[in-house]
Amino acid sequence: VKGIVRKETRRKSAPPFTTSTLQQEASRKLNFTSRRTMMAAQQLYEMGYITYMRTDSLRISAVAQTEARDYISSVYGDAYLPRTPKQYKAKKSAQDAHEAIRPTSAAATPDSLKDKLKTDLFKLYRLIWQRFMASQMADAIIDMVSVDITADKYLVRASGSEVKFAGFTTLYVEGKDEDEEKTSKLPTLSENQKLLLAAIDPGQHFTQPPPRYTEASLVKAMEEEGIGRPSTYAPTIATISARGYVARDGKSIYPTELGTIVTDVMKEHFEDIVDVDFTANMEDEIENVASGETSWKKIIRDF
């Protein structure tokens, strides 16, 4: 063992759900389509169990935060409470009319509602409840260890991590679109210690082409590019599927021949409309009307 480097890192909790992150996470963790997610969320909202489900705001009311902190303190202990309530900032274009998606009462635990909710509703409610509660819990603390080992003229490296304090991860860990590299726990080692070679794992990485969109990554891309609003992500995907413009292979979505032909024709004849920036620019113009910077008559005339 030539050298050991230890580093403590903090892992922060994910914010509560917006419409797009709810659709993404339900796709990753529950294998729900966006439409199925929104149908279940609509029913939960109408039953009074969650706040409004079409939102891109991350705002949380002070009452909800206090409720969550009281619950965390009583169930997990004060070590799991951050000193001050956690607030999250939404991106600039977010409209703040509604709060983030959260349970209407932190005390209404998923277990207490299991017999009252149908399977889809229960699964989605549990996801929303856990995500919201975890967003108000303390950071996880991870010990990262990297060990350099010499063998003849070679230098090999082993890395590992160990959870020092679980924090919010006791309740919830965010799903990922890509496979993350696994890190294992290393045995306790000291400098200059002699080791016996069991095996060397030679990792060689090649650049991969970007993967096909899944429903989760497509919703994420639509949000990032400003295509549509929280209320239109699910209907848009449902529409292009129903018309046969895209098809599915497992979780992957790919364009059909029909979809490709229609897109090519649209691009040729309606270049300024079939454009990623079209809806984003429309949004900006409507915002300018709302704030009194632009006349609505001018926008309608230009359109």
Active site residues: 52
> Are the CB atoms for 27 and 33 separated by under 8 Å?
yes
User: Would you give the distance in Å from CA 204 to the centre of its chain?
Assistant: 29
> Are the CB atoms for 213 and 227 separated by under 8 Å?
no
Distance CA 185, CA 6 (A): 13
Distance CA 258, CA 260 (A): 5
Among the listed residues 25, 21, 101, the one whose alpha carbon sits nearest the alpha carbon of residue 60: 101
- SS3 of residue 143 by DSSP: strand
> Are the CB atoms for 274 and 74 separated by under 8 Å?
no
Q: Which amino acid, one-letter code, is at 167?
A: G
**Can you spell out the DSSP letters for 202-253?**
-----PPPPPPEEHHHHHHHHHHHT-S-TTTHHHHHHHHHHTTSEEEETTEE
Distance CA 126, CA 111 (A): 8
* Interior angle at CA 259, CA 256 and CA 262, nearest 5: 150
Instruction: Return all residues near 259 (Cβ < 8 A) that are at least 6 apart.
Output: 240, 244, 245, 246
> Are the CB atoms for 136 and 68 separated by under 8 Å?
yes
Neighbours of 224 (CB within 10 A): 10
